[in-house]
Structure 1
Amino acid sequence: MNKGMDKLAYKIDYIDGILTFTIDREEKRNAVNDEVMNGFKEIVTTIYENKDVRFLIITGAGAKAFCSGGDLSEFHKLQTEKDAFGMLSKMGTILYEIATLPVPTIALINGTAVGGGCEIATACDFRLVAKDAKCGFIQGTLGITSGWGGGTYLLESGLKQDFALKMLVDSSTYDADKLYEIGWATNIFEGSKEVALENFIQHMRKIHPSVHHAYKEIKLRSWKEKNMFERVMEEIKLCAKLWESDEHIEAVNRFLNKSNK
């Protein structure tokens, strides 16, 4: 399974039980496009087909961005609620598949994680955040809500409900110290993200994978009882409705015009 896909929008590496998925679109601040979505789908399949995978790591290329969310330069072409729902539900379903994997999932947040990037990180079991990184659910600044299920994952994450809700309605970024204070960040690190990861999993490595699988099953049983997938899809429907609003279209046009200058 050792492979690097340099020509694609992502890279997949496997070393000693650790499967690492890197969004490799540094020039786009590691924004998610259709190709990245398909890459995420590939790692889900890989983990279920290869029982030797012990951990899934999601990170971004470079040092500036973990993931800036969906690539608006591509997805802005989706004008209607129906079209938006198609894209949002595709990524939302894939993210749910990642969130419900039987192995521990770790977001190795090397830089900014905003919008959908913050949703991806929230859906992971653990979040290791670089000291200078900023993260936030900024979707509200674009006239929409979280569209891949991130709001639902956040409200079920164990954060105090007022902190979680404020993180959503603020629609702004938080620094690493604040993220750790409220309980969103599992750890904060400085320097090498690889060293930070190794330090974090050193004790987990000593435990048999069957134990990890059992604890994940306990967590996911609770999610099933709470109808998590159905709630995620309802969240996506709300975002799709807002997607075709004038407020969203105008906000994205302003963003793209600013980005192109």
Structure 2
Amino acid sequence: MAYQNLISELKENILYVTINREKALNALNKDTLAELADVIAYADKTDEVRGVILTGAGEKAFVAGADIKEFSDYNGKQGEDLAKIGQNQVFNAIENSPKPFIAAINGFALGGGLELAMACHMRIVADHAKLGLPEVTLGLIPGYGGTQRLTQLVGKGKAIEMITTASMITAPAAEKIGLVNYVVPQPDLISKAEEILNLIKQRAPLAVSAAIKAVIAAVNNNNGYATEIEAFGKCFETADFKEGVSAFVEKRKPNFSGK
């Protein structure tokens, strides 16, 4: 897949997506968001993709925010549309994807960049990186789900503190409050994400997707228990369930087909 602002490569069932605007600190402009929407849709519908690693070009920034110049003269309705379209096509699309997305945070993750990372199912951060939601310094609030996902991840008090002070936090502090899964040295960032996805690749694909759906239903107050029960039942109808049980009984490794 050829993009202007992304580098996308599929290797060994992992889709590597790099936001490639290093000179602009990988800021999210309209074109980049459109390309992200396209690559997310590709990951969703492509069986060969078992997981996605999302990162930024260079070592300075994952994504240092949105491209402010593009919306500096917007009115209220245009601002609402900006948030709605971005959330539906990119941020919510990542969260609701049946494929696990891991954000490999290689540097600053600020504003829309942190919101993008929080939309992913897991976050790994380089030890030098800093994270924050500085929108109130512009007279705005986070508009791509940041108020919601940050609260889900770190709790109401810490979320309000981070958003209203606009303060950046360090990678170790982010791990301490549960904002990220792991902090690693910069050279180990992608390999740690690969380590997790390589474990996931050994599991039943349909069950992995069902588990993600159920967990997301829980955090979004979308009747998580009912979602879990329904998804649990559907798993019994899959060939992977039969293979998993047979492999367990026969004391061998399962060979899942994703069917």
Corresponding position of 1:118: 114
Corresponding position of 1:235: none
Query: Which has the higher mean CA deviation after the structures are superposed, 198-207 or 127-136?
Result: 198-207
State the shift of 1:143 in Å: 1.2
Contact 1:4 1:13 (8 Å CA) reproduced: no
State the shift of 1:26 in Å: 0.5
1:82 aligns with 2:83: no
When the two structures are aligned, how many residues end up with a matched partner?
A: 221
Q: Tell me the alpha carbon deviations over residues 216-242 of structure 1, each in whole angstroms, 9 at most, x when there is no partner.
A: 121233356449xxxxxxxxxxxxxxx
- 1:75-224 paired onto structure 2 within 5 Å: 75-76=71-72, 78-94=73-89, 95-157=91-153, 159-192=154-187, 193-222=189-218
Q: Which has the higher contact order (CA 8 A, sep 6+)?
A: 1
Q: Which has the larger radius of gyration?
A: 2
After TM superposition, the score normalised by the length of structure 1 is 0.79
Distance, in Å, in 2 between the alignment partners of 1:205 and 1:48 is 15
Q: Tell me the alpha carbon deviations over residues 174-196 of structure 1, each in whole angstroms, 9 at most, x when there is no partner.
A: 00010011110100010322222
After TM superposition, the score normalised by the length of structure 2 is 0.80
2:13 pairs, out of 13, 17, 23, with 17
Distance, in Å, in 2 between the alignment partners of 1:171 and 1:116 is 13
What SS class does the counterpart of residue 18 from structure 2 fall into? strand
State the shift of 1:212 in Å: 1.1
Unpaired runs of 5+ residues, structure 1, are 228-261
Distance, in Å, in 2 between the alignment partners of 1:32 and 1:56 is 19
Contact 2:124 2:181 (8 Å CA) reproduced: yes
Q: Tell me the alpha carbon deviations over residues 145-182 of structure 1, each in whole angstroms, 9 at most, x when there is no partner.
A: 0011121112223x233223322222111000100111
Distance, in Å, in 1 between the alignment partners of 2:83 and 2:158 is 25
1:47 aligns with 2:36: no
What SS class does the counterpart of residue 53 from structure 1 fall into? coil
Unpaired runs of 5+ residues, structure 2, are 224-259
Distance, in Å, in 2 between the alignment partners of 1:128 and 1:146 is 21
- Corresponding letter in the other structure for 2:86: M
- Corresponding letter in the other structure for 2:79: A
Distance, in Å, in 1 between the alignment partners of 2:69 and 2:220 is 35
